[in-house]
Structure 1
Amino acid sequence: MKQDIYNHFHQDEREFVDRAWEWIVNAGTYHETKLTDFLDPRQAFIVQTLVNRHPDVQLRLDGGYDTAERCRALIAPDYRDLSEEDMGIKVLSIYSGEQKFLSLEHGDYMGSILGLGIKRSKIGDIHVLDNGCHTLVCEDISTFLDINLNQVHRIHVQSEILALDSLRTHQVSLEQMEITVASLRLDAITGDVFRLSRSKVLVPIRAGRCRVNWKVEEDPSSSLKEGDMVSMQGFGRFKVLEVGGMTKKQRQRIKIGKFV
């Protein structure tokens, strides 16, 4: 891998860059086809960027529905028709008759699935519904989950494997809030959104637990801009919806959309 390619990515991403480049070289040189597990948007961006550097390789990204956040990547020689290829995605429907089931959240389902020893990359988007949950999963682990997922946050559940055309999605809900900060620094905005003091918000950022647009950001002084997506492990995520004017005290007005 050439150093100029590395320069475009964070040092922590080099291992994934190397793997992705190997998939691409194998497709272009040895006519191999690679179907990845689910990638987050940052990983998908890296793969797309590398595919663009190889004239004999093409890419298909598919997460099971049009607006999927997490997608599987199909990397293949440019002469293949990928439009009808099976992307190996199933819907795991999770449901229960218990009343407490209605209060379960995204993290509850995710925690129970990962607790079975499943890697995060095997799971796509999770849609919490009024009467259950539809989760996109890799086909190769769908039967295992169907058999072994019997409990979510101490609530007994049942499951069923469905085809993609049975998928039900939910609209992402954003809780809007307006804050004023001294600057557009990552630590200033993140601290206000999650109600953390400056000293407490620095810890997860410097520990690599904060991502901006799905890329690890360890510099607390880095600036955010309109449209940026910020997530911090253990706290949640938010989007910078609008950067407004200044207050009389010369503080920046910002509109935030917090994912709930």
Structure 2
Amino acid sequence: MRTEIYEHFHPDERDYVDRASEWISHAGAYHEQKLTDFLDPRQLYILETLASKEDKVTIRVDGGYEASERKRALIAPDYSYLDEENMGIQVLSVTSDDHKMNTLEHGDYLGAILGLGIKRGKIGDIHVLDDGCHVLVASEISDFITMHLQQVHRVHVWTELLPPENLRTKDVALEPLDLTVASLRLDGIASDVYKLSRSKILTPIRAGRCRVNWKVEENPSTSLKAGDVISMQGFGRFKLLETDGVTKKGRFRVKIGKFI
């Protein structure tokens, strides 16, 4: 049975599949509740796929606000009423009187928090604001962060914990790129976006460092479509916004949005 489940997922996802399967089976068989860490969209898809095969469980998901990318999931027996359950999410507000704070980016805040020894799963979405940053964090580590987070990329900061209803969001900024590419293959588009040769882009893809829609993708020839989100470890991520026809020379016009 477990082998049949594995067939649907990448080998790197098997540990997570095992854990998610255990959460679901314990909820159904032993009437246990499980509050997960923040899950990315791929992890949430796996959890919901596995849960759909079990009629004795129910799941509530929440990332602190409606449009969140990363969410916590509460898994419980099917008779449970979860609407009023505490999802263990707080807002970490980071501010400073240093003018250099305006230069800080998403990766600076994430790196500073992870540098405290915090696991990525304890951190939800990060919103870089004009006057600071709001970070969704798991309640169980929120006090630790406020006690120890004093600098972000050499900028001295102050922190405060707020309830989710006080969250201030900011739309993700995308740097637009208009490209013409030989094909819609992953390696071809990624090499142009990251400004790497076709041969150099193959290494991280085949090494499992590339994700398409949060799923590991090791096949360089995979065809991309509008809406796909591609991330490459160490190079950032981008979104294929749309394909816009073919040139007279047979090349594809594509619009890219690079996350900044």
Query: What's the TM-score once normalised by structure 2's chain length?
Result: 0.98
**1:145 corresponds to 2:145:** yes
Q: Which residue of 2 aligns with 1:237?
A: 237
Q: Which residue of 2 aligns with 1:18?
A: 18
SS in 1 for 2:240: strand
**Distance of 2:130 and 2:48 partners within structure 1:** 35
Q: Which runs of 5+ in 1 are unaligned?
A: none
Deviations 1:175-221 (A, max 9, x none): 22211111111010011111111122112112211100000111111
**Distance of 1:259 and 1:148 partners within structure 2:** 29
CA positional deviation for 1:244: 2.3
Q: Which residue of 2 aligns with 1:28?
A: 28
**1:53 corresponds to 2:53:** yes
**Distance of 1:4 and 1:185 partners within structure 2:** 29
SS in 2 for 1:231: strand
**Distance of 2:170 and 2:257 partners within structure 1:** 17
Amino acid at match of 2:93: S
Q: Which residue of 1 aligns with 2:191?
A: 191
CA positional deviation for 1:2: 2.8
Amino acid at match of 1:158: W
Q: Which residue of 2 aligns with 1:159?
A: 159
How many pairs are equivalent? 260
Amino acid at match of 2:255: K
**Distance of 2:23 and 2:6 partners within structure 1:** 16
Q: Which residue of 2 aligns with 1:103?
A: 103
SS in 2 for 1:74: strand
Which stretch shifts more, 128-137 or 174-183? 174-183
SS in 2 for 1:258: strand
Deviations 1:216-244 (A, max 9, x none): 11111111111111011111111111122
Root mean square deviation of aligned Cα: 0.9
**1:226 corresponds to 2:226:** yes
Alignment of 1:37-116 (within 5 A): 37-116=37-116
CA positional deviation for 1:104: 0.3
**1:120 corresponds to 2:120:** yes
Q: Which runs of 5+ in 2 are unaligned?
A: none
**1:211 corresponds to 2:211:** yes
CA positional deviation for 1:132: 0.3
Which stretch shifts more, 21-30 or 202-211? 202-211
Q: Which residue of 2 aligns with 1:202?
A: 202
Q: Which residue of 1 aligns with 2:254?
A: 254
Q: Which residue of 2 aligns with 1:132?
A: 132
**Distance of 1:207 and 1:118 partners within structure 2:** 26
Which stretch shifts more, 39-48 or 231-240? 231-240
**Distance of 1:2 and 1:233 partners within structure 2:** 30
SS in 1 for 2:172: coil
**Distance of 2:242 and 2:161 partners within structure 1:** 41
Query: What's the TM-score once normalised by structure 1's chain length?
Result: 0.98
Which stretch shifts more, 232-241 or 92-101? 232-241
Deviations 1:99-133 (A, max 9, x none): 00111000000000000000000000000000000
